Amino acid sequence: MRLRNWIAVVVSVLLLVAVGIVGVLVNRSALRAADTVHRADSQALAVNNATLAGSMQLLSAKELSEFASGHPFTLAPGQAADRAILEGYVKKSQLFPYGAVLTSLDGVLLNATRRNPLPDADDPGYQAMRELLLAGKPGFSPVMSVTDAKGMPVAVQAVAVPIAVGGAPVALLIGFNKFADTMLQAYTSKLKSAAHTALIVDGDGVAGFSSDSTRIGTRVDPAIVAAARSNAPGAAFVEYESDGVEMIAILVTGDVLPGGWAYVRTQTTASFDGAVHRRSQTINVTLLAMLLIGAVGISILGYRTQVQRRRADEKFQALFQHAPDMVAVLDADGRLSYSSPSAASVLHFPPGSLQGHSVFELVHPEDRPSMMAAFGRLFADRDSVLRLQTRVLNASGTATWFEFTASNQMHNPALNGIVINARDVSETRAFQERLAHEAQHDALTGLPNRRRMQDALGSSLRREPVAVLFVDLDGFKPVNDAHGHEAGDELLQQVAERLSSCIREQDVLSRVGGDEFVVLMPGIINREDAEAMSTRVRLAIERPFHVQGNELVIGASVGVHVANASDDPDQALRAADHAMYEIKHLGGGRNAAIPEQRHLLHVGRHRAEA
């Protein structure tokens, strides 16, 4: 009897060990799958944030370059006119309100604003910025420090663009911004979280932008700096210790951010691993403890384990019920074998109605072929991870942009499918589209800017003739001098509205300078038609304007050139500009007759290239 009991105990212990080993393996497999998705999501989010930050940085360099190309500097040392141009730009700029300077190519100071203290000429940040320009990259400096009037250090960044004369760079225009007051810092602040800190650091690991504003100007851990210098471009994880605490950082390097800058998100390893790891460790400890329990306790522990598992499932379901992200598992045919409760609620479908349906039925028809091709490649590649954005249809048929992260877990017995994590990125895409729109449109009038106009002119001339009207306002500067720049801006907006009402539906109206506008009329062959439009434009502008309670009267000099199909776009624009100048020299639009069109090769040089 005693032997039989021992045999029962031994068998019970062996069964318990076997159950424990199986439980540990299953738990480890599920943990690996969750870690794969979690790390992939974290990397994708970090790359997305870094890309947005890089776009905002490049947008600042673009504004500075457009300003440099649109203002004829004398580049004489200490020239008052150059300083006035710089002061006016800094006063109105949203990106470089801190200050601006003009220097020679080798760094000799030619002129500077005087509103705020600027970094010393021997600051190594200037040299780093010039080296980037020489390498053909945008000129962004690392973190530079100045001392304000109260003796407090202030962290600033310099952005440089070349000033060209005759197509060759002759000087540099450098704009400065205070990190704490930039739009990029405002965006980074929105990433603030109690669990982690997001930073954008220079090549030396000094933070310029941070979700925690007190970290601006401080250095990140040396382990992160070493990884940024040694790792290949892209997103990577860096694990290190800080004051005895295990930490993990997501590091994004390469060309995503200009000037050698990098995006870093740091947090404790415990907070990054989160509840999934803590639950896994608890289960493992429980399983190991079960190995020490005798046969008498098997039934009790089995019952307790079932209760714990049921509660864990209920907690899991509760978490996913209200999670903003959608989680699903697809079978080999692309059908939903599992979908989180949030998937139905986010897409406004009845609970459980998505089960068994093909995921491709929810994809927008235009995106469906590419989605099916991408998932075909994912099915064929074991352990691969797919990231893409596509439009998803909700119950009413409305399309919303989602970002998908899919992991091939067909070989994983715990999942046996494609694990998908999807989140709504419509606001992020709208922000990116707004940035793209602002890059091609004038901020004051909302009209296409010079770059957009030149693209439209080049595209039209490849197909058909185009009449080009170059419009310059007569008497605009006195309005600015007498009534101020705000009145001048309102006047320009009213001019834009009147010109928009004059042109045809297929015509293109753009603002290319301070008081300069260009009208493109595709398909116009006869010069008489173009001159008729010129007359309408001039008469529209000569009507009195009512600005801030004042009646203002201005005129317009309109240069006309009819370009043949396949003509050079730049030469066509120069020809219209030259014709406008002839009218200016004859007394302006009210007094001068429209000059005869000259041969395209004999026109004057356009100011935008001066």
DSSP string for residues in 541-569: HHS-EEETTEEE--EEEEEEEEEPTT--H
Residue 187 pLDDT exceeds 80: yes
Question: Hey, how many other C-beta atoms are within 10 angstroms of the C-beta on 58?
Answer: 17
Greatest Cα pair distance, the chain, in angstroms, is 125
What integer pLDDT is reported at residue 468 of this predicted model?
Answer: 94
Residue 301 pLDDT exceeds 60: no
Question: Hey, how many other C-beta atoms are within 10 angstroms of the C-beta on 283?
Answer: 21
Q: Residues with Cβ < 8 Å from 506, sequence gap 6 or more?
A: 522, 523
Please report which confidence band the pLDDT of residue 473 belongs to, taking 50, 70 and 90 as the band edges: very high
Residue type for 248, please? I
Between residues 79 and 315, which one has the greater pLDDT? Answer: 79
What integer pLDDT is reported at residue 162 of this predicted model?
Answer: 92
**Which stretches within 216-340 are classed as H helix?**
222-230, 269-290, 298-321
What integer pLDDT is reported at residue 606 of this predicted model?
Answer: 44
Least-confidence region, from 191-200, 285-294, 421-430: 285-294
Least-confidence region, from 116-120, 320-324, 418-422, 458-462: 320-324
Query: Which DSSP string do the residues of 509-538 spell out, in sequence order?
Result: EEE-SSSEEEEEEET---HHHHHHHHHHHH
Q: Residues with Cβ < 8 Å from 577, sequence gap 6 or more?
A: 470, 559, 603, 604, 606, 607
Quick one: DSSP state of residue 505?
A: T
- Average pLDDT for residues 501-510, to the nearest whole number? 90
**Cα 167–104–200 angle (5° rounding)?**
95
User: Which residue, chain included where needed, has tokens 């998932």?
Assistant: 375
User: How far is the C-alpha of 165 from the C-alpha of 152, rounded, in Å?
Assistant: 40
User: How far is the C-alpha of 103 from the C-alpha of 122, rounded, in Å?
Assistant: 13
User: Do 392 and 380 form a contact (C-beta atoms < 8 A)?
Assistant: no
Backbone φ and ψ for 456, nearest 5 degrees, come out as: -65, -40
Q: Residues with Cβ < 8 Å from 535, sequence gap 6 or more?
A: none
Q: Residues with Cβ < 8 Å from 128, sequence gap 6 or more?
A: 141, 142, 203, 260
Output the six-digit token pair for 74.
């004398």
Question: Hey, how many other C-beta atoms are within 10 angstroms of the C-beta on 519?
Answer: 25
Residue 5 pLDDT exceeds 70: no
- Average pLDDT for residues 96-109, to the nearest whole number? 90
What integer pLDDT is reported at residue 312 of this predicted model?
Answer: 59
User: Do 466 and 460 form a contact (C-beta atoms < 8 A)?
Assistant: yes
Residue 591 pLDDT exceeds 70: no
Question: Which whole-number Å values give the CA distances from 70 to 94, 318, 364, 607, 608, in the listed order?
Answer: 18, 59, 44, 8, 6
Query: Which DSSP string do the residues of 142-178 spell out, in sequence order?
Result: --EEEE-TTS-EEEEEEEEEEEEETTEEEEEEEEEEE
Least-confidence region, from 135-149, 310-324, 343-357: 310-324
Between residues 598 and 610, which one has the greater pLDDT? Answer: 598
Residue 599 pLDDT exceeds 50: no
Residue 207 pLDDT exceeds 50: yes
Helix, coil or strand: residue 244: coil
- Dihedral sign from CA coordinates of 409, 412, 417, 420: negative
What pTM, to 2 d.p., does this model score?
0.45
Mean pLDDT of the chain: 81
Helix, coil or strand: residue 196: strand
Query: Given 3-state DSSP classes, what are the helix, strand and coil percentages for the chain, each rounded to the nearest 5?
Result: 45, 25, 30
Q: Residues with Cβ < 8 Å from 545, sequence gap 6 or more?
A: 491, 494, 495, 551, 552, 553, 554
User: How far is the C-alpha of 119 from the C-alpha of 141, rounded, in Å?
Assistant: 11
Residue 54 pLDDT exceeds 90: no
Alpha carbon of residue 354 to chain centroid = 34
- Average pLDDT for residues 73-94, to the nearest whole number? 90
Residue type for 319, please? L
User: Do 141 and 158 form a contact (C-beta atoms < 8 A)?
Assistant: yes
Output the six-digit token pair for 406.
């899919």
What integer pLDDT is reported at residue 1 of this predicted model?
Answer: 43
The neighbouring-strand residues paired with 249 are 238, 266
For the segment 368-391, what is each residue's pLDDT rounded down to a tens digit? Answer: 887 778 787 777 777 678 787 788
User: Do 138 and 63 form a contact (C-beta atoms < 8 A)?
Assistant: no
Residue 504 pLDDT exceeds 80: yes
Residue 223 pLDDT exceeds 70: yes
Task: Write the burial class of residue 434 (CB in 10 Å: 0-12 exposed, 13-18 middle, 19+ buried).
Answer: exposed
What integer pLDDT is reported at residue 390 of this predicted model?
Answer: 81
| Most confident stretch, 303-312, 360-369, 471-480 | 471-480
User: How far is the C-alpha of 112 from the C-alpha of 79, rounded, in Å?
Assistant: 10
User: Do 391 and 367 form a contact (C-beta atoms < 8 A)?
Assistant: yes
Question: Hey, how many other C-beta atoms are within 10 angstroms of the C-beta on 334?
Answer: 18
